[in-house]
C-alpha cells in the first residue's frame, strides 16, 4: 500500500495540488506490480532476518526457548547442510510428525530459506 501511495505522489502523476489531495483522499487499491514488489522485498527481508538470527550466539535452553514455535525450532535445529534423514531425526527429537516436517521443509524452500541441492539434500540459504 505504501508503494501505491508513493506512486501517486510521483511528480509525473501530480497535475495539480487539488488533484493530488483528491487522489490521496479517495480509496486506493494496490496494483499487481506494487504487490509483487512488496512480496519480493518481504522475501529478501525474511532471508536476511533468518541469516542474522543464525549468527546470534547460541544460549542454553531456557523457558523462553522451550516455548519456541515448533516450526522455528525445526529450522533453528537444522545444520547448514543436511539430508532428509537428518531433518527427520531432528523432527523426531522435537516431537514433530514426519508429514509435518516434510511440509515445513517445503515451506522453507518456498520462502527461500532453504535450497534443495539434490533430491533429499538441502542447504540453508544466507544472502548478503
Question: Is 112 part of any domain?
Answer: yes
Strand 121-124 versus strand 114-118 pairing type? antiparallel
Is the domain of 35 the same as that of 81?
Answer: no
| Residue 2 included in any domain | yes
| d(C-alpha 45, C-alpha 22), whole Å | 33
Q: Could you tell me the CATH number of the domain that includes residue 110?
A: 1.10.10.10
Domain membership flag for residue 36? yes
Task: For residue 120, give its domain range.
Answer: 70-128
Average pLDDT per consecutive 10 residues, the chain (128 residues; last block may be shorter) = 70 53 66 87 87 77 56 88 93 92 92 89 76
Whether 37 and 77 map to the same domain: the answer is: no
pLDDT of residue 35: 86
Amino acid at each position: 500500500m505504501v508503494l501505491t501511495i508513493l506512486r501517486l505522489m510521483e511528480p509525473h502523476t501530480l497535475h495539480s495540488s487539488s488533484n493530488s489531495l483528491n487522489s490521496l483522499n479517495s480509496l486506493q487499491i494496490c496494483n499487481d506490480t506494487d504487490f509483487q514488489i512488496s512480496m519480493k522485498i518481504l522475501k529478501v527481508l525474511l532471508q536476511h532476518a533468518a541469516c542474522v538470527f543464525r549468527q546470534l550466539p547460541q544460549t542454553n535452553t531456557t523457558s523462553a526457548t522451550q516455548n519456541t514455535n515448533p516450526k522455528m525450532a525445526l529450522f533453528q535445529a537444522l545444520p547448514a547442510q543436511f539430508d532428509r534423514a537428518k531433518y527427520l531425526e531432528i523432527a523426531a527429537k522435537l516431537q514433530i510428525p514426519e508429514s509435518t516436517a516434510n511440509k515445513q521443509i517445503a515451506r522453507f524452500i518456498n520462502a527461500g530459506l532453504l535450497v534443495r541441492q539434490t533430491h533429499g539434500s538441502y542447504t540453508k540459504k544466507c544472502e548478503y
